[in-house]
Every structure is written in structure tokens, then in C-alpha cells.
Structure 1
């Protein structure tokens, strides 16, 4: 099992769900965990409520209402299911009180925008990730995703400077997702249609989705390319 945490105080649900769909098409048993404060996946995934804490959607599972690994594992044991049966687990969180409670995470991804609120809240998230660590010297590899990137005075270097006191090693390249009105329109339509159509997404966004799925899964790049083409064809 491989876990990737998407930490960030912005809505990244569409990105995470698209990655989940791609992995599922590539025959990876995948779980997406909505560990966000507002439980925002309920607006995109049908039948998510207290009676269905884990819901199948577009070929993968989506869990909500769990804020730490222990609670999720306990629930799955009660349902006679195994958490370690998943190949890939994607954790979406913006909570400082539980961001460090997901056990060993193989891939950390900081997801941000350039607005001041997100950058400041992400500082607190990063602090919460590193606070319980006893090893303060070993660097932790982070991917960086910039959502709704625009040309302005604030840039990636500024984002990095706000958390430079922590032992972070930034993976290269980063994943800028430039603001695109069609990507935004597809997100809205998918929410109301309760599906994950991907055909109309911008080419850079689809490339970022594929790259992150490749990083997490370790599958051959050709498998993810085939999965993306299949995702584009699905209705």
C-alpha cells in the first residue's frame, strides 16, 4: 500500500478524485479519504452520509467522517474489511489537529493557491505535520501543486519561503495548474451530474493528474497514459 497526503487549505477535491479515477482504471484498488474540515466531498460524491461512510464511486472508494488512521481501521475491521487491501490511498486534509495522525505517508503533497488565506493556513498545516517528529534533521520530500496559478507578484519561491524553517526537500518539477475556465466548468458540471467526466479538461491539468498518479502508483507510464485515454472516453 502507498499513501499520498494532499495537505492544503483549499478545495482540491476535483484533483484528488480525478487521480483516484485514473488509478482505478489502471487496476489499482484505490481509497480516497475526505479528512477535510467541511467534508466537501459530499458535494461531488453521491450517497456520502453517516450511513455510508465508505462509498464506491467511479470504480474506487471514498471515505468520509474519518480524521485519523485508527478510526478508519477500526471501522473497517468492524465491517470485516482490510485497510491494507488497498493499493493506493489518497488523503485530502486541511485539519491541523489530525494531519499528523495518518501513519506512515510515502508521498506528501502541499496543495496551495496564491491567495493569502491559503498560504497562511498552510503554514499552520506544515507546522502540525512536523511538530510530532522526533527527527528534526532528516528532510521530507514534498510535491508542490499550485492550483489556479496566475501571473502575479506572488510565486512558488514565496510559498517556499513561508515554511523554510522546516526540513522540506521540494520535488522537481512542481505541478502548476493554471486557472482555466473550462476546468472550472467541468468541475461544476461533474458535481451536479455526480460523475467524473475528464475529456474536456485542459491538457496541462490532465498531465498533472497523470504525473501524480504515476508517482503514487509506480506503474509504467504507458499504463497511466492508457488509463487517461479510457477516462477521457468514459461518459
Structure 2
């Protein structure tokens, strides 16, 4: 049975979702990562033999880019003799308000708001959600989990950031996941982007722990299962 997760917010989520997809794929799951970002950013992170083919296999999973809507993606897959439900996991990096209808949100097993602590990103993402809920009133009251990127030890807490968005008619998770700022993780992101690769070897233990926690919370895995997947992903080159 296909499971789908939506990750949204205006922050750059590429490295996080590429790592997540990689861990799921090395564990034997068929994964589709859907680029529904405004600027189609994943094409700069993956290697494509043919730019005209919108679904590309990359490090054991598939990446769909260049689609204007979820309907267009599903039609393309059907033309290829397959179906979106043939995947075990479908992960959406969703920034386009028009990409999916109410159904894509209601069908999702979970919705994740990904943001840094930066006020610009928080307020822009809050405005984005307000427009979404105005477009699709049925989504009011939807349950949203939060991931805070580049978390720093400062007086701006995740709880305070959530308070800035408290006016939205949604239900927030009580325990946000925080991913600390890490110079080596940023260096790995830059190198992976230029190499069009996914390498986890340079990541610090702290950052790897954050990725494991994300897999545990999103997929419902045990901690030991996430650690095994992480080790497999480190050892395998593709």
C-alpha cells in the first residue's frame, strides 16, 4: 500500500529529502521523490542522462521533476504503463500552490512544515499556508508536523516560531524536530550538489542522528532500523 508524505515551506529541503529517500531506498522500498518546488531545484542535484525524461532513477529511488500538477505526473506514469500506487513511498517537496488539489493533502499520511528559524522564512511560509487554506477550505484543521533546519542555541525557540504561525487554522505537533546547524553537513550538501551524488560519509554524528530521527518519525521505524539504513547508505555508492 502506497504511503505519501508532503514536505512544504519555502526553505530548501533538497538535502534533507534526498537523504531520507536514500535511506528508504537502501532498505528495499520503492520510492518516488516529487519535485513540486517553484524553481524545480532538484534538476541541479541529480544526474539526468536525458533532460526530456521527467522521471529519473537516482541512487536507488526515482525523482520526478518538470510536472506542473500531480494530475500530470499520474497521467505520465500511466502512459509509461505504471501507476503512482506502485511505489511504496511518495515524497512531495511541495511549494506550488496549484500542484495538487485537496485530495493530495487529505491522502497524505503526514504533512511536514520545514523551516529555518529565520523570520523571513517563517512568515513567508505562514503566508503560503494561509493562501493554501483559502484555496482549499476543507484543509482547515489539518495536522502539521514541524522540522526546524539550521537550529542554533539562541533565545529564538521552536515554540516561539510556532507561536508566530499560531493564527493559522491548523493543528500543530507538540514536539518539533530540530536539525542543528552543521558546517560539515553544509559542505557535504555543496559537494553532493556539484558531484550530483549522495554521500553521507562527511556528515557528523549529530547530523546523522537528526536524519535517523526524521526517518523514525516519518516512517514509524524503530531506531535500530534507521541506524542500519544509515550504515547501508554510507557503504553503498549508488
Q: Retained in 2: the 8 A contact 1:34–1:62?
A: yes
Q: Which structure 2 residues correspond to residues 144-223 of structure 1 after superposition, within 5 A?
A: 144-223=146-225
TM-score by length of structure 1 reads 0.90
Task: Indicate the SS of the match to 1:56.
Answer: strand
Question: Distance between the aligned counterparts of 1:69 and 1:18, measured in 2?
Answer: 23
Partner of 1:24: 25
Q: Retained in 1: the 8 A contact 2:10–2:115?
A: yes
Question: Distance between the aligned counterparts of 1:159 and 1:205, measured in 2?
Answer: 22
Deviation at 1:33, TM superposition (A): 0.6
Partner of 2:15: 14
Partner of 2:113: 110
Q: Which structure 2 residues correspond to residues 58-77 of structure 1 after superposition, within 5 A?
A: 58-77=59-78
Deviation at 1:128, TM superposition (A): 3.4
TM-score by length of structure 2 reads 0.89
**Structure 1 residues 219, 116: CA separation in 2 closer, same or farther (over 3 Å shift)?**
closer
**Structure 1 residues 165, 224: CA separation in 2 closer, same or farther (over 3 Å shift)?**
same
Number of aligned positions between the proteins: 233
Question: Distance between the aligned counterparts of 1:151 and 1:111, measured in 2?
Answer: 18
Question: Distance between the aligned counterparts of 1:100 and 1:161, measured in 2?
Answer: 28
**Structure 1 residues 213, 49: CA separation in 2 closer, same or farther (over 3 Å shift)?**
farther
Out of 164-173 and 22-31, give the one that drifted further: 164-173
Out of 212-221 and 196-205, give the one that drifted further: 212-221
Q: Which runs of 4+ in 1 moved over 6 A?
A: none
Q: Please tell me the root mean square deviation across aligned C-alpha atoms, in Å.
A: 2.1
Q: Retained in 2: the 8 A contact 1:48–1:54?
A: no
**Structure 1 residues 177, 69: CA separation in 2 closer, same or farther (over 3 Å shift)?**
same
Task: Indicate the SS of the match to 1:21.
Answer: helix
Deviation at 1:228, TM superposition (A): 0.8
